[in-house]
Amino acid sequence: MEEDNVFGAEGIVIHGDKIVFGMQKQKRWYFLENGEKAAIVKTLGGAIEEVDKKSTRKALIREILEEVKGIKEEDIKVSQFPIFTKQIKMGELNPYERNSNLKMKADFYIVEISNHVQLVPNDLPALVEIPMEKFSKMNLSSNFPLGHIKNHITKKEETTIPENYAIMAPKEIKEYLKSKEEEE
């Protein structure tokens, strides 16, 4: 089996009745043919680092605490085990890098953040909190004008948000949320 370039953990982050995504940093924004800027909005999480001692769950908690300001570990409830593990080829999920061969294998966990916490981006330009009902109808991995999610963005004050975005998330997230909805 071909080795993955990156191994890490990603969270299906739920805050009340919303799913939370993070906007990638400005250095990872894209310039489109028309000169407009675009950004990837993705699940929160990232690669395992040495401090995580090979634990994807620890990596996820550390990443979320870095990405979201003003929360404490006790505000975060993470599923004990991943709900699925997925090998992602970035070119399949990122419409701005269709030719990329970068692969990431990630454990996906359910993360619930306490309702009393107001989410504010820390080392990300913005957080996007999309109501579950709206998210279930959204297309993934396609370029859209920002107007589709403008009302759901919390950004750093000094940040200028790009005109376009794409949500980079595997279809298993929608499938999981739909199955949970059917259970209720």
Quote the CA–CA distance of 155 and 98 in Å, as a whole number.
27
Burial tier of 69 (Cβ tally within 10 Å: 0-12, 13-18, 19+): middle
Superfamily of domain 6-183: Nucleoside Triphosphate Pyrophosphohydrolase (3.90.79.10)
**In this predicted model, what pLDDT tens digit does every residue of 110-157 receive, in sequence order?**
999 999 999 999 999 999 999 999 998 898 889 999 999 999 999 998
- Whether the pLDDT of residue 4 is over 80: the answer is no
What is the Cα gyration radius of the chain? 16
**In this predicted model, what pLDDT tens digit does every residue of 17-50 receive, in sequence order?**
999 999 999 999 999 999 999 999 999 999 999 9
**In this predicted model, what pLDDT tens digit does every residue of 78-91 receive, in sequence order?**
999 999 999 988 88
Backbone angles phi, psi at 172, to 5 degrees: -60, -25
Q: What is the pLDDT of residue 2?
A: 46
Q: CA of 110: how far to CAs of 50, 57, 62, 164, in Å?
A: 23, 10, 15, 27
Band of the pLDDT at 1, cuts 50, 70, 90?
A: very low
- Whether the pLDDT of residue 181 is over 80: the answer is no
| Contact by Cβ (8 Å): 91, 100 | yes
| Contact by Cβ (8 Å): 44, 13 | yes
- Whether the pLDDT of residue 55 is over 70: the answer is yes
Q: What is the pLDDT of residue 158?
A: 86
pTM of the predicted protein model: 0.92
Band of the pLDDT at 53, cuts 50, 70, 90?
A: very high
Backbone angles phi, psi at 37, to 5 degrees: -95, 150
Mean pLDDT (whole number) for 3-21 = 89
Return the domain boundaries, the chain. Answer: 6-183
Quote the CA–CA distance of 14 and 20 in Å, as a whole number.
6
| Contact by Cβ (8 Å): 41, 167 | yes
Alpha helices in 3-144 (DSSP H): 56-67, 90-93, 132-137
Which residues, in sequence order, are bridge partners of residue 134? none
Quote the CA–CA distance of 166 and 22 in Å, as a whole number.
11
Quote the CA–CA distance of 184 and 182 in Å, as a whole number.
5
**In this predicted model, what pLDDT tens digit does every residue of 56-111 receive, in sequence order?**
999 999 999 999 998 999 999 999 999 999 998 888 999 999 999 889 999 999 99
Band of the pLDDT at 163, cuts 50, 70, 90?
A: very high
